[in-house]
Structure 1
Amino acid sequence: MSVPTPGPRPGDPRPAEQRPVAALRADVEEAVAGLDDLDGRPVSEHPAAFERVHATLGRALTSGSERG
């Protein structure tokens, strides 16, 4: 039995980016670093900060799933 390779969801208009792992790691580290000063920012800004990290992690995971 073969296991399907994960990839973009059907109908997802965004193509998976093919970027070097080091670049993806740097993107993730930068996004997570954006949470460092969260305690000094208004609570109303927190959701946007978490959404940026979530989106960056999603892109990194999607790009990583295309490697093989």
Structure 2
Amino acid sequence: MTVPTPGPRPADPRPPEERPAGDLAALRAEVTGAVAALDELADRPVAEHPAAFERVHAALGRALSAGPERG
């Protein structure tokens, strides 16, 4: 049995202005800031927790989707 060789990653279908920033330092800072904000959740109302988790999820998604273009 042979194992298929993976092909190139598909191109980002979004228009260039909607693609994540390619600056690795900016992506790292965004993720770090979003994750650091989770430390403050203990002092915040539970109703605010989902928005904080959404910010982390979005920041991680942007960083991961930048892929090899990130710098």
TM-score by length of 2: 0.71
Aligned to 1:40: 43
49, 52, 59: which one pairs with 2:52?
A: 49
Partner amino acid, structure 1, of 2:64? L
CA distance in 2, matches of 1:19, 1:67: 6
Runs of 5+ in structure 1 lacking a partner? none
When residues 44 and 15 of structure 1 are mapped into structure 2, their CA distance, relative to the original with a 3 A threshold, is same
Same amino acid, percent of matched pairs: 54
Tell which structure's C-alpha radius of gyration is larger: 2
When residues 44 and 22 of structure 1 are mapped into structure 2, their CA distance, relative to the original with a 3 A threshold, is same
Aligned residue pair count: 65
Aligned to 1:3: 7
TM-score by length of 1: 0.74
Matched, 1:20 2:55: no
When residues 4 and 15 of structure 1 are mapped into structure 2, their CA distance, relative to the original with a 3 A threshold, is farther
Structure with the larger RCO, 1 or 2 (CA within 8 Å, 6+ apart): 1
59, 64, 69: which one pairs with 1:67?
A: 69
CA distance in 2, matches of 1:48, 1:4: 35
Cα RMSD after superposing both structures: 2.4
Runs of 5+ in structure 2 lacking a partner? none
